[in-house]
Structure 1
């Protein structure tokens, strides 16, 4: 039996479980089962809370919490913005941390988290890296020019005119140059709403189209800011699952949004 919690950040949902001593060695099949929306619990991914000293390559961080994030297909992802906020909310709910600011270890590096009022959590996302050249992205035999943005994980963000977002068919993975993204990419499609206000849809590698993507909102805001000739400022980003705030600054991006734990239980593996 495995004790778990179910949580979401703007409807990007996760199965969370605690493994402080690195005792669990769940197989890919078991991780996929946890994310199965019919046979299992259901989620866009799993979040395992483990002390960093038990994770190969991160032992130097000692007893700091490590976010072991897996996509719904059990593939490893370097970082997950919504997942990190849910991870922090889960640790707090379980009494594993208090509400003071805290650093969490991820495969994309150390990420800083702060608890705000209500269910809002703000996290540091590092310094996004924007590729200088455009990247072709294909959907429904249409090719768009996007922007490659690294937010600790790979993204291709496509800016669309008003009215171009809703008609896209994202039931299949968009096409993009595999040589630019050898580990595949998350792809965002972005439409302007108003001043520093955009909406987006996202296709996540290892999952498919999701209601939200935290790193994707940062990539979308960076792409929109770059197109506007800006590198700093605050952007409101509306994925289908809600609203997130992205603050861009020279020292890095910050992502603010809700994180909610909706259920606790046990599951038979």
Structure 2
């Protein structure tokens, strides 16, 4: 028996996901649909699938599945888009929303203008497990900085980011033995005071236009390494995120756009 599911495709800096309100449309086997719907030619096309649901400890919950079906703990770009979705769909009138994720409860600050939310700031919590790592033989880059934003990141600073063959080195670094659960990989170049150019290979999705938690991890790593202060703009292929970190042991705030691409209906059996 076929059933119709309403969805919304949204993007934050080109990091695009399919959003489903599972309070209205329960979705069994989301891993399967993340894979099927994310395909660009035979599906909807996206970096993954995001489920918006109820929570016992926050206003709403988020579950996020990558294009390969694996479940992620957190996505900064997706969390901003959820804030826009909830407000514009009339599911809340709040401009401060508590969002339950697998990496903890995040606080979304919305900036609506005439009923439309184009910009959201997210309290991403406290960055953790920040330390330098040596990548070892067999890898073209010797060192990086590990950062946890509720999900694992490896940040590698380079002199010229245009020379990084991300499609070649990304898969191997994602599965580096130091990270048994795989890792998101960011290559970064400081291009000015408080400005960082970054490209990302996302765990489970590959090259994406942007990564919110990756931008946060990159800003933290830059501050940790003395390359930038605690406030910076991270420039990605899809656009710019403003990152403000209150310092070691303190919270980090990410601010950027959220855009609806289109609404749609898809049938499942």
Q: What TM-score, normalized to structure 1?
A: 0.89
217, 220, 229: which one aligns with 1:219: 217
Distance 1:261 1:110 in 2: 24
Q: What corresponds to 1:42 in structure 2?
A: 45
Cα pair distance change 1:137/1:218, threshold 3 Å: farther
Q: What corresponds to 1:55 in structure 2?
A: none
Q: Superposed, which structure 2 residues align to 1:3-42 within 5 Å?
A: 3-20=6-23, 23-42=26-45
For the pair 1:66 / 2:61, whether they are aligned, the reply is: yes
Cα distance, 1:174 vs. partner? 3.5
Cα distance, 1:217 vs. partner? 0.2
Q: Superposed, which structure 2 residues align to 1:1-269 within 5 Å?
A: 1-20=4-23, 23-52=26-55, 60-61=56-57, 64-116=59-111, 119-136=118-135, 142-161=140-159, 164-172=160-168, 173-175=171-173, 178-228=176-226, 233-250=230-247, 251-269=250-268
In structure 1, stretches of 5+ residues that fail to align are 53-59
SS at match of 1:28: helix
SS at match of 2:223: helix
CA RMSD of aligned residues (A): 2.1
Cα distance, 1:34 vs. partner? 1.3
In structure 2, stretches of 5+ residues that fail to align are none
Q: Is the 8 A contact 2:74 2:213 kept in 1?
A: yes
Q: Is the 8 A contact 2:6 2:25 kept in 1?
A: no
Any idea what the Cα deviations from partners look like across 1:239-264, whole Å, max 9, x if unmatched? Answer: 11001000001431000000011200
Any idea what the Cα deviations from partners look like across 1:133-156, whole Å, max 9, x if unmatched? Answer: 3242889x5123100000000000
Q: Is the 8 A contact 1:22 1:50 kept in 2?
A: no
Q: What TM-score, normalized to structure 2?
A: 0.89
Q: Is the 8 A contact 1:78 1:152 kept in 2?
A: yes
Distance 1:19 1:122 in 2: 24
SS at match of 2:142: strand
Aligned residue pair count: 257
Cα pair distance change 1:127/1:135, threshold 3 Å: farther
Cα distance, 1:178 vs. partner? 4.1
Q: Is the 8 A contact 2:190 2:227 kept in 1?
A: no
Q: What corresponds to 1:57 in structure 2?
A: none
* Runs of 4+ in structure 1 over 6 Å off: none
Cα pair distance change 1:198/1:40, threshold 3 Å: same
Q: Is the 8 A contact 2:185 2:201 kept in 1?
A: yes
Q: Which one is further off, 84-93 or 149-158? A: 84-93
Any idea what the Cα deviations from partners look like across 1:6-57, whole Å, max 9, x if unmatched? Answer: 10000000100101168321342222111111111111111111112xxxxx
SS at match of 1:171: helix
